[in-house]
Each structure stands twice: as structure tokens, then as C-alpha cells.
Structure 1
Amino acid sequence: MWALRRASSSMRSHSRQIVGVRASVVQVEIPSANVEHQGKYCQGPDCRDLPKSVSSIRFASSRSFLWSRKLSSEAGAKSSDKEDDLEDGFSDLEVPPETDNAEDVKKKEGDEDLLSEGEIAVEEEEESDEVVDNSIDLSDTESDAKSDKILRKKNLASPLFKIIMDSPRHNMSAALEKWVEEGNELGRSEVFVALLNLRKRKLYAKALQFMEWLETTKRIEFGERDYASLVDLVSKVHGLHRAEQYIKKIPESFKGEIVYRTLLASCVSAVNVTKAEEVFNKIRDLNFPITTFACNQLLLLYKRVDRKKIADVLLMMEKESVKPSLFTYKLLIDTKGSARDISGMEQIVETMKADGIEPDLLIQAMVAKHYIAAGHKEKAEAALKEMEGENIKENRAACKALLPLYASLGKADEVGRIWKVCEANPRLDECLAAIEAWGKVGKIENAEKVFEDMFKTWKRLSSRYYNALLKVYANHKLLSKGKELAKRMSDNGCRIGPLTLDALVKLYVESGEVEKADSVLQKASQNNQMKPLYSSYITLLDNYAKRGDIHNAEKIFHRLRQIGYVGRMRQYQSLLQAYVNAKSPAYGFRERMKADNMFPNKAVAGQLAAVDAFRKTQISELLD
């Protein structure tokens, strides 16, 4: 752990603001860091404005960082500015019974990928590089966890699920009662499959109604994980306040660490750092153990809002004897790589190996990706050869990752060589990677051929694969082809969801039709009652900012707030850039940010200075 802390030392810098916590503490001499604020967070001199409700936190001029029974700002999320999501796996009802046969499940492999975007909603990362921990493991045993992981990859048929889907919300309880009265079995296995399918489709309101019916009718004996599942669903459907209120109703014997951990994850998904602090403090007050999962949540949060503080989390893990997991290393490696600290990234890899954890394919691909981004071509090529192994045909699992990585190096021949291994009997994920890779190297015809050949094996494809080709067209400004493909999607019964809309917005923007992209986004959000992706709005906001179009930039910024995308520094930076490019003062912008509980980082501070109407220049001082 000490080696990890040393490896992460460059993530932090000296600061006047040090987080301290109440009395019974272990004092460690360690420099603190400036905080780059996003969300409900604080930085610099304004740290004193942290909500007073978090009574366990104070700010001092001492150079020591104090850890104790209270901790500031612990949470986590799906990544990047695109939120996202920690889900599934909360309930006993959502852990497959031991009687389930994993071999029977395997027969259904591949069905999920053939469903439409409307049937299984998928939220795309705004930063595709972001590491996400979806491994909320509430299983009692390792074998249960493995069974759960296997089953989560499948789309299981379920008569109970069909009843839930076919029933209007106002009539679901009656339909379920009738189904049970007809002699149908309602055991944990049936409930598990139904909940799994509902969660996969993000039908949280129906899942909540179903769980509430189970609780009210006592059809299933609830355990702690079942109550935790309800906390998660209440939070997703009704918000954090209602989730907190529900916890008060849970029997004390079932109000354990899993319940509060679930609430913590919900706070993270809502990007409510203040509330996450309170929940974590509550966990510690109740003397629950600090788990690797909780620490990973904190690392995820700091990766998003303040990477310099990651070293402090590692210090806490060392003091609490919390062992890093594989995901901990993945996140640290990705953080170092994203910061272009290649030597630090390599040091963390060596530390992981010294701890007896060998890099898996995901980590190897991550390292190679960061080598490429940092311009270390030779190191990247060596990493890719290591991924391949001695015989790529025998190591086919690496093909999916190798295709886009070789494409990023501009090696079209290598993309062709790897694709030849897969081409005779391709898998869905390999096809997706091939479309992306051929697009990167400019081989549009090859990407189109992969797409068309997929219909020979799979008669129906989900929107996901259309979207991949749409992005290729967008990147190469092939507007007419993109329009034709979008029409084909509609004709083939694919619902135009947020991912497709995002691809269409990018298609129009890259083709120079920003206003048309704006119109498409607005119509889709109104007519289809869908919530567009954050990245769709940012694409428009960035382009209006580039033009110095303050009016339209403000309009998109307002839409972001209306739809619920708040507390993100990214949109403030882009809006400020519109003022900078327009050479127009942004009156009251600093106060506007403060009212939103947003505090400028270094980059934003520079923008604010550039658009300050009262800024003194050398010539203005002379003339005054």
C-alpha cells in the first residue's frame, strides 16, 4: 500500500486548505491538495462554505491530513461527467438460487445483444475511457457471486416478467395476485429473473412496484439485501430523500452495512457529495467496517472531481488495512494514464504484480491505450504483442481489444490481420470492435462490409451496431450515408434511443449543420420523452462556444439544467469559452457559479479572468 501511495504522489499538490476531522485521530504528515470542483464540492478559500450540516468536517491551516471516524466526501459513480451508474446486485431476490443451473443459462447466450435499444436501455459513457465499477457484490458466498455474474450476462425468459410487463402499473398488483392464485410458482428463482430483466431494461418504477408488492404481501421473506434493493429502487425512482425515509421503516435487525452502502451508492449516482459524506459518516458511526468497495467508491469520486486527493484515500486504506482489489488497480492505472504520467502508471502496474495480481486483458489494453495517447509508440506496440501472446488464434479473447488499439496506431494491416482471425466465425463484440477499427483507419467500405455481413449470422441487430456505423459516418462527415442508415434503423423497427440520437447529433455537427443537430435534439427530447445523453448537449455547447455564439450557448446550458444535468464543471467551462471567443464580458458569472455551489478550478479561473469586464490591463492602467 505504501508503494501505491508513493506512486500516486504526483496526483496531489500543496495547498492552504487541509481537510481535518474530529477528535480521535491518527495524525499523519502529508501534504494536501487543491480541489478542482465539480458538483457539490468545495475548493480553495471557499472551502469554508461547505454545508454546515457536515459537522464532522473542518478546515485548518495545518499541513497534516487527519483521518478518523469521519471522512470527507466519500462516494463513487459511473464515470466521467456522464453519470453514471452503479446498479444491480442489491437483493437476495436478485442473487440466483443455488439450484439454478449455469449450463442451462449458457444456452441463451447472445440473446441480449440482439434486443433493440428500446428493450434494453444502455447508457453510454461520456468518456469512453472511464473505468467503471459495476461489481456491487452483495452475495453471501463467492460461488453465489460467480453465478450472479454468469446470469447477469444472459437474457432469461420469464413468464412472471411477461406478466409484469403486460400489466399497467395501476393493475399490476391484481395481475400478480391472479397469477399466483392460478397456481404459478413464485420462488426466489422466478423473482430473481424478473428483477434482473427489469433492471437490465432500467424499468425501475415497475421493479419498485413489484418489490413493494412482494414486501406488502409477504410472498417472500425479506433479508437485508432485499431491503437494500428497495432502497436502491426508491432512490432511482423517487430520489434520495425518499430512500432515506424508507430506511427508517426497515426493521433494525436488517438495517446493516449493506443498506447504508446501497444508499451511499445512490448518493453517488445522484452526484450529491454532501449527502454521500453524511452517509459515509453514518456508516462509520455505526461501526461498520470500511470495505474495499467503499474505498473504491471514494477513488471513483476523486478520479472525477479531485485526482490529487487519491493519495489520501490510499493512506486511509493503509491505516484501515483495506486491501486493494483488481478494480482499485485498474482505476489507479487509468487515472495515471489519463494524466499522461506514464512512469507513475508503470509503477502501479509493478506494484500490482508484486502483490500477486497479474494484469488481465482489460488492464493490458488500458496500458496500451495510454501509451498510444502519450505518444509512446514502441511501448504500445510491445504491449499489444504481449496481449496477442504466441498464437492469436488460441488467444482469441484478445482480438476485441486489439482491433481498435491497432487502429489507434494507424496500422490498417494489423487490423486486417486480427480481423482475419475472427472473420470466418465472428462474435458480436468483435464485429462492433471491427466496425470501430475500420472507421478509425479510414476504411469505410470495410466497416460497412462487417456491418452487412452481420445480417448473414444474425437476422436482427440492435441499435448498438447501427450506432457504431453511424459514428463512423459522423467522424468522416458522411451525412447522406448517415441519414440513410438512420432511416434503415427505423424501417427495421429499431427505436431511436439516446445513443442513436447522440450519434445523429454528432453526424450533423461534424457535417457543419449545427442548427439542424440542435433541432433534432430538441424534437427528440420533446416528442419521444427521452432524456438525451449529456454528451449530446455538450457537443452542441462546444460548437456554439467555438463560434462565440453566446445566445445559443446559453440556451443549451439552460436545457442542461432543465433536464437535470447540473453540478458539472464541464458545461461552465464550455459556456465561458463562448464569452471568451466572442470577446464579451461575462457579468456576474463568478457569482452565478457560487450560487450553484460551483467553485472555479485553475482552468475556469483563467477563463473568468479573460471575461472579467473590470479586468485591469497594462494599457488601461496607464490611461486611467
Structure 2
Amino acid sequence: MVIRGFRVPIRINLELGFLIVAAMWALRRASNPWRYHFPYSMVARASCAKSDILHGNLNHEHWGYELNSNIGEFSVLPKIFSYAPPFSAMPSLGISNFSSQAGARTSDSEVDDGFSDLDSPTETNKIGTMGNKDDDDEFISEQEISRDESEVHSAEVADSSLGLSDSETQSNGEKEPRRKSLMSPLFKVVMEAPRHSVTAALNKWVQEGNSLGRDEISFTLWNLRKRRFYQKALQFVEWLEASKHLNFVERDYASHLDLVAKVHGLQKAEKYINMIPESFRGEIIYRTFLANCVSTGNVKKSEEVFNKMKDHGLPITTFSCNQLILLYARVDRKKIADVLMMMEKENIKPSPFTYKLLMDTKGRTNDITGMEQIVERMKADGMEPDLSTQAMIANHYIFGGLNDKAEATLKKMEGDDIKENRNACKALLPLYAALGKAEDVGRIWKVCEAGPRVDECLAAIEAWGKVGHVEDAEKVFENLLKTWKKLSSKYYNALLKVYANHKLLSKGKDLAKRMSDDGCRIGPLTWDALVKLYVEAGEVAKADSILQKAAQLNQIRPLYSSYMAILDQYAKRGDIHNAEKIFHYLKQTGYAARMTQYRLLLQAYINARTPAYGFRERMKADNVFPNKQVAAQLAAVDAFRKTNISELLD
């Protein structure tokens, strides 16, 4: 076992060895008490029962998560779990829920869910009206998902965690889509102004004597974020701050910080933190930065920010711990147990989203028993899984081949009368489709058909496509278009994916042209659908060409899944040159190296029966270490290495 330069042999008496390690750490800390911090994981393990230590039983008692490796190999975690003052002595600044349902309070302790009213428009001082039926969903621009689909959790990484939700809570506690019944003249000014003249347009607006209340500012900024016009939103906030038209509070600075991170990246965001007045550099600022670090998958920076919060004496909240769990669920699941130990030790209560993350992690590893145990613990803590959590559980049952359990969960979601439980329809449609139950898809859709909501239509298009009823999917789309007149590209993309899955290349091309004619924004999600359309049709080179041209012309990063779909095909063909090219593009566009990328690239070498020289070193340089599958692949490519005799025989 290696701990910061010390090698401690563990042969016979494991308990004695552990005490020696603790003593050595104590001596090192005594020589420089500020340099070395004893990790929470070590403290937690020291408190384990003797029988657990001697028998190597390192499963977390309540959560069922294994601690790092076994007792003979565990390593000290980074400073992230180092000593901090008792949390009870720290001032509480509130906790944000990090979920797809952000905006709703998940417990009494979670006081606020996001930024201040700068980002959450109130219902007072309503400005103007908007005619016709246009649902707010219609105007949402495409969301860029920068992670592998297998790693995308049910939460949106940045916006929803900061309270920028597109829904509001009714008196009965249910969520209802926020409808666009308001139109702000200020929002119109910002939207219509070219990027280079937003400031001039805003100055003119004020000079003309227009009022600039916080409500109108909130509404404008909220809608810019909703459409993901982050650059314009940043210009708007910068103008507000520079012109002193708004007295900034901490949450307003946090909103500015979040936009800087989204538009300019983490480095500039960190510089902006130093420009914020010290009195406003509180927990909200750092948790906002932490959320952005986690969303990019930057482990080192995320841990650094977490440590800085502790060093500054800021409270470590459920929100921040959820960020770490979200991060480690994607990059190193073994560390999740250490976060849970820390939460338990410091009496940080898990939120519904904490449970959801843990269930999802168990489900993704096909540990269904572990997932069910976490469900029971959630209920024991007085929390019931909501619809989205139940849908996630059912999805894991389906993936694990436990269809009976999945169906039982779906029946529970339906309730006694699905007509009375209409909110469940959107989630039920794709799940019944995943089970291959076309009749149930039809039954649920019949409940919605008379007056469908746009999100239900989207779910129905995907569901009908999944069960092979392409004509029914087309019918839903056409009716949707007749009702709403103008749709965002995500609805077209849904049908485009149906065509891709059924290798209907000609129909896909026609729909893509129709999107352009209808004035839809063609962005990363559309490129992704087009890539898959051509990949499924066997035209990989065309898919590759579309993706590269789109990225170059639009200066927008394509989705991770787009690159992976092409890389997968090149790997199957043993096309090393193009596989390496796509691998390079992934790095060039800022996607962190992951095991999946290396696995596919190795497969290209295997299928080409070519040795992959220096591959282990490449992985090590990216801090990626082979799992069993990749280790087997590495052994396979080693077999292709030429020896002196093979060269002679060739």
C-alpha cells in the first residue's frame, strides 16, 4: 500500500498495519499541520468494526457501495475529503436541488433552488400578452448534451441545478409547464439586436425612457437562458453590471459567473470569481462554479473547488455532495462510497436527487438488488420516488431483463385511473415501447390524443417509432404541426431518429429539407440525427462529412454521441486512419478522454489485425486506466506485434 511515498507491507496483521499507517500520518502532520489533511475516508474506515477490517468487508453499511478497492490496496483520496471545521458551526446559505425538476423544493431544508429573482421571473407586473396557442416548449432551442448517452443522468447539468427551471409549482405540488403568456419588449430588443450591438440597443432602450425593473430583467434573462442564448445573456448581464442598472447580490454574481463558464470556459470563470467583491464570494458562487466544473467532467478542478469551499469555511451542502456523486458516477464509481461516508459523518442529509443518483448508478451496473435497497432506504427516510424516478427504475428493470418488475412499476405509475393521472402518460409511452407493447402505447396515447400536450406528442413519436409503427409516428408529427404551426427542431429530430432507426434514408433526407424550409434552427441535435440516419444506412463517410462541415460552418461543438456513432462504425470496419481521426476530433473539440473512446479505437486495430504501439502510454497520459475488457483488447493487439522470425517469414 502506497501513501504519499510511504510503503507499508500488509502481510499478516492487517489491523496492526492500519495503525502503523495512522501513526505515520500523525507524525507527518505534526511536522507540518497545514500541509497534510487526514481524509474522511480514512477516518471512516478507522471506525469500522475489527471484524470488518480483518475480513476485508468494506461494503458501506447502509448504502451498499464498496469503499475504494480492498484493505490491502486502498489509496488516500485527494484533499477533497480533508478535515474541515464542524458544519454545525458554519452559517447556512441554503441548498439547491440538482434535478430535472429544479425549481421545486425537495425538502424543508432546501431553502432556495437557484439564483435570485434575476433569473426567476415573478408573476407580478405582467408585461404584454402573446396571442395564439404557442407553448413555451416550442421556442426552446436545442440542448447540447456533451456526454455519452450512457452517462447522461436524468438531471440537466447546469441550468436546472441553479434553479433555471422551465416549470413552476402549483398549489397542489404538481409541476406544470410554464406557458409563454408574456412578451417583454426588453426581451424583444435583446433578441433582435445583433450580437455585436446588444449593448448599444440596451443603451438606446434606456435613453428612450423605458423602465428597467428587476421583474422585466428577470423575465428577459430567464428566457435567454431557456433558449440557450448564453452569449446574449452574458452580454445582457455584463451590461447590467457595468451600467449599475441593478444592485447585484450574490446570486446575481453567480448568474454572471455561470454564463462566463458556459461561454468562455472554466479558466475565465475562475478569473471572474476574483473580480467579485469579497463580501459576495459565498457558498452560492462556489457551488455554481462547482456545477460547471462537474458538467465538463473536470475531476481535478471539481475537487479543487470543493476543497476551496472547505478552506474558506463555507458550508458543504447536499447540493455540493450531489455534484461529487454525479461526477464520480461518471468517472470513478468507487469514490461514491467516500462521499456517502462524509455525508453521514457530517450529518448532511441526502435529498431525493441523491437517492436518484445512487439508484441510477446501481441500475447502470445492473445491481438491481442494490437499486431496490436504496429505494427502500429512501422510503424509510420519508421520501417517495416521484414519477421520473419510478420511470428510471422501470427503465433499469427493462434493461436488466426483469420485464415483470418493469410492468409492475408501470402499473403503479398509472395509478387507478390513467385519465386522472395524465401527467404519467409522457413517461409511460416510451417505457411501454421499450417493452415492445404496442397495444399499451396505443392505449396510453388514446388518453392524450383528444388534446395532446407537446411533450406527450414528442414521447409518442419516439414510442411509435420504437415499436415499428412509423406511420403512427408520422401522423402524430403532422397533427402536432397543424396544431402548433411552428415547431422547434427537436420535434423534427424525433421523427428523423425514427427514420434513422428504420433505415428510411429517403424520408430522412426529405424531412431534413423540410426543416430547413420551415426555418428550423439546425444545431447539434439535428446533426446527431442526420449522422445516425446516414450511419444506419451504411453511408459512414457521408455522415462523417456532414458532421465536419456542420462543425466548421457553425463553430458549434457537435454532440459526443455523434462522434461516437461514426467512431463505432470505423472501428467495426477496422479503418484505423479514420478511427484515429475521429478520436483526434473528440479531443480537439474539448471532450475528455473516456474508456469508451479507447475501447472503440482499440477495436479498430484489432479488426485491422494491426498492433497498437504505445497504446497503454496514451491511456495513462489521459489518466484512463484499462478495465477488464480493454485489458483483453490490449492483449489481443499485442499478439499482432511482429517478431524477428515473423518478419523473415513475411
Q: Does TM-score exceed 0.5, indicating one fold?
A: yes
Q: Deviations over 1:6-56 (max 9, x none)?
A: xxxxxxxx9x99999714867122647568xxxxxxxx99989x9xxx7x3
Equivalent residue, structure 2, for 1:440? 466
- Cα separation, 2, equivalents of 1:47 and 1:155: 56
> 1:78 and 1:276, CA in 2 relative to 1: closer, same or farther beyond 3 A?
farther
Which range moves more in the overlay, 241-250 or 354-363?
A: 241-250
From the superposition, tell whether residues 416 and 214 of structure 1 become closer, same or farther in structure 2 (CA, over 3 Å).
same
Mapped to 1, the partners of 2:225 and 2:635 lie a distance apart of 46
| Counterpart check, 1:560 vs 2:577 | no
Which of 117, 134, 138 is the aligned partner of 1:114? Answer: 138
Q: 1:257 to 1:176 in 2, by over 3 A?
A: same
Once the two structures are superposed, what CA deviation does each residue of 1:394-432 show, in whole Å capped at 9, x if it has no partner? 111111111111111111111111111111111111111
Please, which runs of 5 or more residues in structure 2 have no aligned partner?
1-13, 26-35, 49-57, 59-65, 86-96, 101-112
Letter in 2 for 1:120: S
Q: Deviations over 1:425-477 (max 9, x none)?
A: 11111111111111111111111111122233222222111111111111111
Query: Does structure 1 residue 22 correspond to structure 2 residue 43?
Result: no
Please state if 1:178 is matched with 2:204.
yes
SS in 1 for 2:118: helix
* Cα offset, 1:240, TM superposition: 1.9
Pairs within 5 Å for 1:423-434: 423-434=449-460
SS of the residue corresponding to residue 611 of structure 1 reads helix
Closer, same or farther in 2 for the Cα pair 1:366/1:144, shift >3 Å? Answer: closer
Q: Give distance in 2, aligned partners of 1:159 and 1:452.
A: 33
Distance 1:334 1:101, change over 3 A: farther
In structure 2, C-alpha distance between the alignment counterparts of 1:170 and 1:192, rounded to whole Å: 22
Identity %, equivalent residues? 66
CA contact (8 A) 2:99 2:161 kept: no
1:516 aligns with 2:542: yes
What secondary structure sits across from 2:44 in the alignment? strand
Q: Which amino acid counterpart does residue 44 of structure 2 have in structure 1?
A: V
- Relative to structure 1, the CA distance from residue 209 to residue 365 in structure 2 (aligned partners, 3 Å threshold; closer, same or farther) is same
Q: 1:586–1:613: 8 Å Cα contact kept in structure 2?
A: no
User: Does the 8 Å contact 1:109/1:155 carry over to 2?
Assistant: no
Partner in structure 1 of residue 124 of structure 2? 99
- The equivalent residue for 2:284 is 258
Inter-partner Cα distance in structure 1 for 2:608 and 2:180:
52
- Matching residue within 326, 332, 350 for 1:324: 350
Q: TM-score, normalised by structure 1?
A: 0.82
Q: 1:321 deviation in Å?
A: 0.7
CA displacement at 1:130 relative to structure 2:
2.3
Match of 1:63 in 2: none
Instruction: Call closer, same or farther: CA 1:324–1:109 in 2, change over 3 Å.
Output: farther
Structure 1: distance between partners of 2:270 and 2:222:
24
Which structure 2 residues correspond to residues 274-289 of structure 1 after superposition, within 5 A? 274-289=300-315
Q: Which residue of the partner structure matches residue 73 of structure 1?
A: none
Residue 334 of structure 1: CA displacement?
A: 1.3
Q: Which amino acid aligns with 2:634?
A: L
Aligned-partner Cα distance in 2 for 1:466–1:91: 35
Name 1:11's counterpart in structure 2.
Answer: none
Q: Distance in 2 between matches of 1:306 and 1:599?
A: 11
Higher relative contact order (CA 8 A, sep 6+): 1
Does the aligned pair in 2 maintain the 1:77–1:300 contact within 8 Å?
no
Kept in 1, the 8 Å contact 2:120–2:222? The answer is no
Q: Quick one: distance in 2 between partners of 1:373 and 1:194? A: 42
Contact kept in structure 2, 1:207 and 1:233, CA below 8 Å? yes
Pair 1:223 & 2:249 matched: yes
| In 1: Cα distance, 2:561 partner to 2:499 partner | 18
SS in 2 for 1:290: coil
Change (3 A) 1:556 1:377: same
Range 235-244 or range 210-219, more displaced: 235-244
Cα distance in 1 for residues equivalent to 2:248 and 2:206: 18
Q: CA 1:401–1:24 in structure 2 vs 1: closer, same or farther (change >3 Å)?
A: closer
Q: Which of residues 375, 394, 404 is equivalent to 2:430? A: 404
Cα distance between partner residues in 1 of 2:125 and 2:566:
48
Alpha carbons 1:338, 1:370 under 8 Å: kept = yes
User: How far 1:608 sits from its partner (Å)?
Assistant: 2.0
Aligned to 1:377: 403
Q: Out of 129, 139, 149, which is 1:127 matched to?
A: 149
Contact 1:609–1:615 under 8 Å retained in 2: no
Instruction: Answer yes or no: is the 8 Å Cα contact 1:98–1:144 preserved in 2.
Output: no
Query: Counterpart in 1 of 2:105?
Result: none
Q: Distance in 2 between matches of 1:249 and 1:586?
A: 48
Residue type of the alignment partner of 2:121: P
1:187-266 → structure 2 map (5 Å cutoff): 187-266=213-292
Q: Judging changes above 3 Å, is the alpha-carbon distance between structure 1 residues 105 and 385 closer, same or farther for their aligned structure 2 residues? A: farther
User: In the TM superposition, what are the counterparts of 1:199-598 in structure 2 within 5 Å?
Assistant: 199-598=225-624
Matching residue of 2:83: 68
CA contact (8 A) 1:69 1:284 kept: yes
Alpha-carbon spacing, 1:537–1:507, altered in 2? closer, same or farther (3 Å)? same
Cα displacement string for residues 558-610 of structure 1 (whole angstroms, at most 9, x for unaligned residues): 12122222333321221111112212110111222233333333332332222
Letter in 1 for 2:329: K
Q: What amino acid maps onto 2:155 in structure 1? A: V
Structure 2 counterpart of 1:132, which letter?
A: A
How many angstroms does 1:91 deviate by? 4.7
- C-alpha change, 1:408 and 1:487, in structure 2 (3 Å) is same
* Cα shift readout 1:352-392 (whole Å, capped 9, x = no counterpart): 11111112111111111111111112111111111111111
Return the alpha-carbon distance in structure 1 between the equivalents of residues 141 and 358 of structure 2: 31
TM-score by length of 2: 0.79
* SS in structure 2 at match of 1:183: coil
How many residues are matched? 564
After superposition, the Cα gap between the structure-2 partners of 1:195 and 1:384, relative to the gap in structure 1 and judged at 3 Å, is same
CA displacement at 1:529 relative to structure 2? 3.1
Structure 1 539/150 Cα, relative in aligned 2: closer, same or farther at 3 Å?
Answer: same
Q: What is the letter of the counterpart of residue 580 of structure 1?
A: I
For structure 1, which segment, 91-100 or 326-335, has the greater mean C-alpha deviation from structure 2 after superposition?
91-100
Given that 2:99 and 2:160 are in contact with CA atoms closer than 8 Å, whether structure 1 keeps it comes out as no
- Structure 1 or 2, whichever has the larger Rg, is 2
Greater displacement, 583-592 / 525-534: 525-534
Contact 1:435–1:447 (CA under 8 A) maintained in structure 2: yes
C-alpha change, 1:28 and 1:419, in structure 2 (3 Å) is: same
Deviations 1:116-148 (A, max 9, x none): xxx623224642762215543579xxx99999x
Check whether the contact 2:257–2:269 (CA below 8 A) recurs between aligned residues: yes
154-163 or 397-406, larger mean C-alpha shift? 154-163
For 1:355, give the aligned amino acid. Answer: D
SS at match of 2:593: coil
Q: Are the aligned partners of 1:579 and 1:611 in contact in 2 as well (CA < 8 Å)?
A: yes
1:123 partner letter: E
